[in-house]
Amino acid sequence: MQRLSKILVSRGIASRRKCEEIIKNNRVKVNNQLITLPQFMVDEKKDLIELDNIKISKKEKKVYYILNKPAGYLSTNCPYTKKKKVIDLFPKKPRIFTVGRLDKNSKGLLIITNDGYLAHKIMHPSSNIEKEYLVYTEQKITSKHTKIISKGIIIKNRIIKPVSLKKISFNSVSIIVKEGKKHEIRLFLKNANLKVKDLIRIRIGFLKLKNLKEGEYRNMTKKEIDKFLFFIP
């Protein structure tokens, strides 16, 4: 017997935290009974598990991709939205999900997989992984702007600051963060009265976007996968 949330992770539905949310949001049935407790115990060999009324298949081969996300796509697996989703750019099988997210108007590096364990390792705060963004603004960026951005902002009663900030050109900066708070890059710029023209994630830890064209994806190499699986605390 295993926890329902653990089984969903092992079958590549999503990360552990996301699987718990899915269960709590009335989307999972076990033997035709709606289950809302992630810790509900399930016999993987005997019980019928359904997500959104679709039977969840047995363990599938793990897949790992990196994508240069184009603007206009949502980082969601929600089956009820008619808007364009990142996963629409990939084959329908196996079931995959994004590791973390970029908002609809942002571009750049995203990891896509069906490996919940890898997703959990990358997203968990203890992994301390840097994310680097290249931001273009509508206005000229001055030293006053960079000082304001560097001081950070308050999110949920906590001061959140960039790890580092580097001016690239008259209207672009590189910002490195570790927190991964929702919309934090845009909030940094908004706090400095700067309007974002373009926001591109160019790095996650050691993994760089490099020459991957917008909308293109590739398989992660074994070396890249192993670095995330075995060399992150």
Query: Residue 222's closest CA among 63, 11, 85?
Result: 63
Tell me, yes or no, whether 215 and 116 share the same domain: yes
Start-to-end CA distance of the chain, whole Å, equals: 28
Average pLDDT of 8-37?
A: 88
Check if the beta carbon of residue 99 is closer than 8 Å to that of residue 115. no
Residues 90-127 pLDDT 10s? 988 888 889 988 999 999 999 999 887 788 788 887 78
Catalytic pick among 103, 115, 198, 226: 103
Tally of CA atoms within 13 A in the half-sphere of 196 that contains its CB: 22
Query: What is the domain-level CATH number for residue 173?
Result: 3.30.70.1560
Q: Note whether 182 and 194 are same-domain residues.
A: yes
What phi, psi does 102 have (nearest 5°)?
-125, 140
Q: Do 157 and 92 share a domain, yes or no?
A: no
Q: Are 128 and 171 in contact (CB under 8 A)?
A: no
Q: pLDDT category, 9, cuts 50, 70, 90? A: confident
Same domain for 222 and 114: yes
151: pLDDT strictly greater than 80 = yes
- Tally Cβ neighbours within 10 Å of residue 194: 23
Q: Are residues 87 and 197 in the same domain?
A: no
Active site residue 88: no
pLDDT (average), residues 220-224: 95
Name the one residue in this structure whose structure tokens are 């001061």.
159
Which residues constitute the domain of residue 69?
A: 64-125+208-230
